[in-house]
Amino acid sequence: MQNFIINSALDMHLHLRDDDMLKLVGPLTSNTFSGALIMPNLVPPITTKEALLAYKQRIKEACSEDQFDAYVTLFFKNDYSYEFLEDIKDEIIAIKLYPAGITTNSENGVASMDVEALRPTLDSMSKLGIPLCIHGETNGFVMDRES
């Protein structure tokens, strides 16, 4: 048996939200965790480089008392160009796909899980080595999270 010592844990699924909620939750998180995988389902969702960089700055300001790495994800859209993703890939850790309307602030998510509709973004992500995170819940299907 091998033992592991975790000196500083990562939160691998965090919704910091924005504004007052970010100012409250950010420091509570950064005081406990060294970093977190940040979800992009804000209003409006994080879908542009400008919005992403501004959000990362707001996170940095909210967590300024601690050493904290924000691993921010981009909200999935099926029409991201290769050039856009190539330009933003060093600023993100992954892209998060939400089925439309299935969870908080997911109204702008994908309307269909038809791979052909998603192919333009998925192909570019594959070529660029950008991971895909999927919200594992759709109408009629919920991943077994409890067991």
**Could you give the number of structural domains in the chain?**
1
CATH code for the domain in which residue 91 is found: 3.20.20.140
Residue closest to 74 by CA, chosen among 104, 116, 41: 41
Burial class of residue 69 (count of CB atoms within 10 Å of its CB; 0-12, 13-18, 19+)? middle
Mean pLDDT of 20-43: 95
- Per-residue pLDDT of 85-134, as tens digits, reads 999 999 999 999 998 888 888 889 998 888 999 999 999 999 999 999 99
By residue range, what is the domain housing residue 118? Answer: 10-142
3 domain residue, yes or no: no
Residue 35 has pLDDT above 50, yes or no: yes
CB atoms closer than 10 angstroms to residue 97? 22
- Is 0.85 topped by the overall pTM? yes
Token pair 């919005």 is found at 51
147 domain residue, yes or no: no
Residue 142 has pLDDT above 60, yes or no: no
- Per-residue pLDDT of 51-91, as tens digits, reads 999 999 999 999 999 999 999 999 999 999 999 999 999 99
102 domain residue, yes or no: yes
* Three-class DSSP category at 36: strand
59 domain residue, yes or no: yes
Confidence class for position 2, pLDDT limits 50, 70, 90: confident
